[in-house]
Structure 1
Amino acid sequence: MATLHALNIPDELYQQLQQLAEAENSSIDAQVITILQNALQKPKTQETEEEKRKNVLKLLEESSRRRRLNPADFGLPDSTELIREDRNR
């Protein structure tokens, strides 16, 4: 097993590590190893710019394929008529 020496850890961070280790009934070394393992095993949740662009394009395609709903189909008045009525008051 390789040895890793961390130097110049801020006091507040070290105290938090101590408290966490005590709460978990483990040593500081074991706690650091656990934290590192958890951090490295998590899947990356941040999307790249290219993935974001693909998602936006996908959403645009889906929205363009959707059928536009006519309020009259649901027995609702046309908003244009309502605006005209309101303006004529």
Structure 2
Amino acid sequence: MPSLQVRDLPDYIYQQIIQLAEAERRSIAQETIILLEKALQLEKSNKKRRSLLFNHIIQETKDKNYKDALDPVKLIREDRER
């Protein structure tokens, strides 16, 4: 199994990992693996969400006049009226 060495890890991050590991009754290595897995999944879901939102915006603006849809003055006025 591959191993990973992290250099110049800030102390506050290391301390947080230690606290989380103790709270979950895991080793520091186990907790770090779990944190990395969660972070990678979060990154994937964020990219997917942004992609879906971007596609939605493109579809919404196809039917309208693109210039009017992204007019900052119009958007600010709409926001103020809410």
**TM-score scaled by length of structure 2:** 0.58
Q: Max radius of gyration: which structure?
A: 1
Q: Which amino acid aligns with 1:4?
A: L
Where do 5+ consecutive residues of structure 1 fail to align?
65-89
Q: Which amino acid aligns with 2:11?
A: D
Where does 1:13-32 land on structure 2 (aligned, <5 Å)?
13-32=13-32
Where do 5+ consecutive residues of structure 2 fail to align?
66-82
Q: What's the counterpart of residue 7 of structure 2?
A: 7
Deviations 1:5-62 (A, max 9, x none): 11211111111111000110001100001111122234332325xx72x42231232x
| Structure 1 ranges of 4+ moved more than 4 A | none
Where does 1:33-72 land on structure 2 (aligned, <5 Å)?
33-42=33-42, 43-46=44-47, 47=50, 52=54, 54-60=55-61, 61=63
**TM-score scaled by length of structure 1:** 0.54
Secondary structure of the residue that 2:6 maps to in structure 1?
coil
Q: Identity of aligned pairs, percent?
A: 33
